[in-house]
Amino acid sequence: MRVRFLLVLVLATTLIASAQDGSARANVRSLSLRECLDLALGRNLDLQIEHLTAQIAGYNLSSAYGAYVPAFTFAARHDFVSQPGDFDPKKFNPDFPYDMQSDTLGPQLKGVLPYGLSYNFNAFTREDNALSNFSSVTNAETVFLPGGIRRTNNYWSDASVTLQQHLLKDFWIDADRERLIVRRKELKMSQQALQFQLMKTLLAVELSYYDLVAAREYIGVQEKAVELRQQLVRETHRRVELGDLPMLDSEQSESQLQTSLAALTAAQEAMVTQQNNLKSLVTDDFRAWADVELQPAGGMMALPPSLNRSESFQRALKSRPDLLEARAAVERSDVIVKFRRNQLFPNLDLIGGYGGVGVDADPGTSVNHAFSFGNQEYYYGVVLSFPLSNIGERGEYRASRASKQIAELQLRKAEESVLIQIADLINRVESRYSQVGSTRKAREYADAALQAEIKKLQNGFSTSFIVLQLQEILTATRNSEIQALADYNKTQAQLAFAEGTTLERNRVTLETK
């Protein structure tokens, strides 16, 4: 009676699970590995963040060119001064009071060139209007206008260019050029970081996909194990009723059935976990995918590997984005060392300027005189300056050299780590491929042994205990075969990542500007 009750319970559980599965099929989405990779390329959050980081590096580089953009200035200015009368001991007559108004108008263009040449093109016109009060002078009204006020105005125009060229310090590299070159290197580094993140994302999708395939296969194995346990329960119950087997065998078979049902539940739970892991990689809106059941559209294959350690080493050293990024970091450090070394030199600047001056009561004539350079003004010379102690710059220079050495050592360490990783993975690929063949044969032998023992049990030449043992062995060998296939495919993906060929392996091209 107890056995019948358990069989009815198992059947009911199976029917309920089938009904639930049928109702959930509306939310099932079958995806191939290629489709998962394409979704990740467009929706993965880590990729979106790294892409924006690369964009920021590009914007920073563009801003560095701003140091060489000329600055244009157009100024208009009005000045007024009311000067009271004053006593000047050097003159026979006192200084008479006056009001002066000046209006200045003119453009200016200045900037700096990449090799330290500063320029300044400047032009202006100034109108001076003066009201001088000579009312204290005898007969002022006969000499000047009524009231003794003299009105005078004039236009002063100037057009000039001034230049300053660094000859030692800031000649072959200065702060602006250092910033520009460093940001070029940083853009290159960010592009390599983006490519490396792309590789890591694709690898994570591959590994998660193979784990999902394995989880699905594990469910199939456990379902098959439950089916075998159910058959054994029925056969054992029949034999117990006939008196061929003791009641203990029936209880053992029932216990193993419950164990298999628990294992099936655990496999289904693991399947959901793997689905969520894959969803986190292929979407940026998990809420929309929360009720979607992902089903892998493909399986796992075990093609013979083609391995060459020397070629793998060369590909990795040439193609790994993280190694290329580390080399760019060394180049960036070299730029900083070059700048710090240049700062040890004294300032030696060549300076010069040339222009023309025009003065006339007419503004147009004043401007023409200035630009015709009839009245010239110019200067040239050399300016030398240096600190009495260069301790600050020497310290910065030594620190930059030490930082470069660190970058070089970090590069060497990264290269060594990659080579060791490749050597380990090549060995692991060979081992995993061997395990695929061994586990397949073990599963075939276990299956054959179980089938033979079931026939013996049916003919009364075996016991349910032995059959249960062989069923456990078959389930274990099936799981081992699935795990070996998953490990082999995952290790192949990891080897491609270590070689830096993940994008090539998945036919993905990254275009950078």
pLDDT-derived band at 141 (thresholds 50, 70, 90) equals: low
Output the pLDDT for position 13.
Answer: 45
pLDDT digits (tens, 9 = 90+) for 16-58: 444 444 444 558 899 999 999 999 999 999 999 999 999 999 9
Would you say residue 15 has pLDDT above 60?
A: no
Tokens 């300056």 — which residue? 385
- Mean pLDDT (the chain) is 87
Mean per-residue pLDDT, 262-275: 92
Output the pLDDT for position 137.
Answer: 66
**pTM for this model (two decimals):** 0.81
Output the pLDDT for position 2.
Answer: 42
Output the pLDDT for position 24.
Answer: 44
Structure tokens of 505?
Answer: 């392996």
Give the domain 2-60+179-334+399-505 fold: Outer membrane efflux proteins (OEP) (1.20.1600)
Whole-number Å distance between alpha carbons of 126 and 363:
9
So where are the chain's domains? 2-60+179-334+399-505, 79-167+348-385
Would you say residue 337 has pLDDT above 90?
A: yes
In the chain, % of residues over pLDDT 90:
60
Q: Lowest mean pLDDT of 33-47, 130-144, 287-301, 487-501, name the range.
A: 130-144
Structure tokens of 9?
Answer: 């319970």
Mean per-residue pLDDT, 83-98: 75
Output the pLDDT for position 138.
Answer: 62
Output the pLDDT for position 356.
Answer: 92
Q: Transcribe 89-100 into DSSP letters.
A: TTSSSPBPPEEE
Whole-number Å distance between alpha carbons of 133 and 141:
11
Would you say residue 7 has pLDDT above 50?
A: no
**Amino acid letter, 419:** L
Neighbour tally for 104: CB within 10 Å: 15
pLDDT digits (tens, 9 = 90+) for 344-359: 999 999 999 999 999 8
Q: How far is CA 424 from the centre of its chain?
A: 28
Q: Lowest mean pLDDT of 47-56, 234-243, 417-426, 488-497, name the range.
A: 234-243
Mean per-residue pLDDT, 242-248: 69
Whole-number Å distance between alpha carbons of 216 and 210:
10
Strand segments (E) across 267-342: 293-296
pLDDT digits (tens, 9 = 90+) for 373-389: 888 999 999 999 988 88
C-alpha to C-alpha distances, 432 to 81, 238, 427, 439, 483, nearest whole angstrom? 94, 44, 9, 10, 10
Mean per-residue pLDDT, 433-446: 93
* Maximum distance among all Cα pairs of the chain, rounded to whole angstroms: 156
Q: Which helix (H) or strand (E) element contains residue 379?
A: strand 375-385
Would you say residue 119 has pLDDT above 60?
A: yes
pLDDT-derived band at 60 (thresholds 50, 70, 90) equals: very high
